Amino acid sequence: MGVFDFLKAKNFNENDDGFEKKDARRDNRDDISKSSSGSASTQKRGFTISNNGPSTEIKPRPSLDNSVDSSGRAKAKFEPSNYPGVTKLALEAQRVAYDNVIRRNPNVQVATQDELGVQSRSVSDLQYRRFASYIEEQSGIVLGDSKQYLVNSRLSTLLIRFNIPSIDELINKAMNPAVYKEISTAVIDAMTTNETLWFRDNYPYLALKNIILPELARRGKSPVRIWSAACSSGQEPYSIAMVVQEQATQVVHVDPANTQITATDLSPEMVERSRFGLYDSHALARGLSAERKAKFFKPTKDPNVMEVDDVIKSMVSFKQFNLLNSFSLLGKFDIIFCRNVLIYFSNEVKAQILEKFAGNLNPGGYLFLGSSESINGLTDKYEMVRCNPGIVYRLKDR
Ligand SMILES: C[S@@+](CC[C@H](N)C(=O)[O-])C[C@H]1O[C@@H](n2cnc3c(N)ncnc32)[C@H](O)[C@@H]1O
């Protein structure tokens, strides 16, 4: 796979952070696939349509309230999804998609999944509970009691990729990583939310440039070590590197050549994507000024894609890393960014991670969390520093 294909491979929901919003949109897409018999089929919630050749019969699905036409045959009827988070607009999109399929397929047959031999894209209740425990154990991500729709929508595409007929079977394999490593990695990856953007929330980068880096420069700190601990597709560590370059024009500054940025994420795919440093126009439009784009990016052969400049790239080293693991081999940092990932974890796991960060910060080191995250009731190792705008946590003196 070329790098440009790779860039397009994972389907991003760049505008959302929330589980519901993201997957409400996915849920409303038609999922066109090949059925096991090789005939084209379209599977939607509430009905399955199969174009199996010159059939003239319309089989009603028992649960549908079908009307009957003049020849006595039952007619298919649109039945909207009642999945949580489905918006009015999405329901309209479902209806249009349904109508289009019916219009293009005069011999359309509406039948149950069982009749067509198409297996389930819905996780069973028992399997959901097993899977939720497994995901929490492996990644810290808490799914809660009612995120079946999320599992269905995120894992559906993997059924095709791994040629597995049902979500339950996919989950069985994923939970056996010793045998099905690739499936297991892909399934955990699919359950992460990778929403990110350049200079997210702005205030951490202002605090870095105007308060923290000058303080480290005055203390003669060298090298300066910064960790972006859930870096997703790389916007956060590259934004940090850009700020480090920009502050080098100030009288008091740290040396960019002696600044090491370590960027880690659970997702191997995100780490690989970050290393490429390629961003399409959609990603570039989110949080990046025209000035920074001109200064820190170079064009590629694809006019829609730009690449992070080599100087910025050389400041960041990426690696796959699970925040549930021991941090002992990572060394000490002056600043840690751990933004918009603790929200997915239980309080117990949040507290453990905050304690571990404290052990990996140099004296007086700083911790940035996401703007909706806090350490309240989780640890007493840090003091809050107001930066106006925003806050950062500083490791307390022992
Ligand atoms: C919403 S993104 C946040 C990206 C960036 N920090 C930001 O604020 O824009 C959350 C990231 O956390 C990663 N993640 C989830 N669980 C993790 C874990 N146990 N260890 C490391 N990274 C994890 C996900 O893969 C995802 O890329």
Mean pLDDT across the chain: 80
**In Å, what is the CA distance from 301 to each residue of 3, 140, 272, 285, 311?**
11, 40, 20, 19, 20
**In Å, what is the CA distance from 373 to each residue of 190, 342, 378?**
23, 7, 11
Q: Global pTM?
A: 0.75
CA of 192 from ligand 1 middle (Å) equals 7
Angle at CA of residue 266, ends 209 and 188, nearest 5°: 145
Averages of pLDDT over runs of 10 residues in the chain (398 residues) are: 43 34 30 27 34 36 42 52 46 59 61 44 93 97 94 90 91 97 96 96 98 97 98 98 97 97 96 96 97 98 96 98 98 98 98 98 98 97 96 94
Q: How far apart are CA 192 and CA 182, in angstroms?
A: 16
Pocket test for ligand 1, best of 15, 154, 191, 192 (most atoms within 8 A of CB): 192
The confidence score (pLDDT) of residue 86 equals: 44
Treating both helix axes as pointing N-terminal to C-terminal, what angle do 19-27 and 88-104 enclose, rounded to 10 degrees?
20
User: Which residue, 327, 314, 307, 322, is CA-closest to 237?
Assistant: 314
Please tell me the residue having the least CA distance from ligand 1 atom 17: 266
CA of 139 from ligand 1 middle (Å) equals 10
Residue 301 DSSP one-character state: S
Q: How far apart are CA 215 and CA 235, in angstroms?
A: 24
The confidence score (pLDDT) of residue 121 equals: 83
Q: 370: how many CB neighbours lie within 10 A of its CB?
A: 18
**In Å, what is the CA distance from 277 to each residue of 78, 262, 266?**
44, 15, 18
Q: Which atom of ligand 1 is nearest to the CA of 337?
A: 6
The confidence score (pLDDT) of residue 159 equals: 87
Pocket test for ligand 1, best of 16, 266, 270, 322 (most atoms within 8 A of CB): 266
CA of 36 from ligand 1 middle (Å) equals 36
Q: How far apart are CA 226 and CA 197, in angstroms?
A: 18
Residue where the block lists tokens 């050549």: 257
Please tell me the residue having the least CA distance from ligand 1 atom 13: 230
Q: How far apart are CA 392 and CA 331, in angstroms?
A: 21
The confidence score (pLDDT) of residue 102 equals: 63
Using the CB atoms, write b or e for 312-327: b if 16+ within 10 Å.
Answer: bbebbebeebebbeeb
Dihedral sign of CA atoms 52, 56, 61, 62 in order: negative
Length of the chain: 398
CA of 250 from ligand 1 middle (Å) equals 32
CA of 264 from ligand 1 middle (Å) equals 9
Q: Which strands form 278-280's sheet, in the order they lie side by side?
A: 278-280, 305-308, 297-299
CA of 340 from ligand 1 middle (Å) equals 7
Pocket of ligand 1 (CB under 6 A): 17, 139-141, 192-196, 200, 230, 232, 236, 265-267, 270, 322-324, 339-341, 370
Question: Can you give the three-state secondary structure of 374-395, one letter per residue?
Answer: CCCCCCCCEEEEECCCCEEEEE
Q: How far apart are CA 272 and CA 276, in angstroms?
A: 7
The confidence score (pLDDT) of residue 6 equals: 42
